[in-house]
Amino acid sequence: MQELIDRVTTATGLPEDKASKALGIVLNLIQTQGNQAKVRELFDKLPGAAELARAQGGDGAGHGGGGLLGMLAGGMMGGPLAAISKLSAAGLSMDQIKALGTTTLDYAKEKAGAQLVREAAGAIPGLSGYV
């Protein structure tokens, strides 16, 4: 996971701790909203991904959140919208969020193959254009 964190740091200009947190938010989105069987297979090829995703889960990126984001999380766009909201709250600009998403998905394709990434995350609204 350190290699990916380093790539995110370079692509976004974020310090390592913020890049790690942001990456965990994106991985949590994939973990909670993606095709579960394929996400497990994908994360098996990305050591440390499941742990980083779990570290950032629970408050709106997938489920379990309160308030409006919690209600939205059950809807079709809830997971992606909540993740963007969490990334914005963490101080990322929209350009940094785009760079984070592109870098993460490119790395996943490199390590696990484009087909598996499409199967795991392709149905998540907002990610389909990147996979």
Q: How does pLDDT run across 13-26, given as a tens digit for each residue? A: 999 999 999 999 99
Measured over the CA atoms of residue 47, residue 56, residue 117 and residue 108, the dihedral's sign is negative
| pLDDT surpassing 60 at residue 64 | no
pTM of the model: 0.84
| pLDDT surpassing 50 at residue 41 | yes
Confidence of residue 78 (pLDDT cuts 50, 70, 90): low
Kindly report, residue by residue over 25-37, the tens digit of the pLDDT.
999 999 999 999 9
Residues constituting the chain: 131
| pLDDT surpassing 50 at residue 9 | yes
What is the structure's pLDDT at 56? 84
User: Once rounded to an integer, what is the mean pLDDT over residues 86-108?
Assistant: 95
d(CA 42, CA 46): 7
Residues of the chain above pLDDT 70, percent = 82
| pLDDT surpassing 90 at residue 119 | yes
**Helix, strand, coil percentages for the chain (3-state, nearest 5):** 70, 0, 30
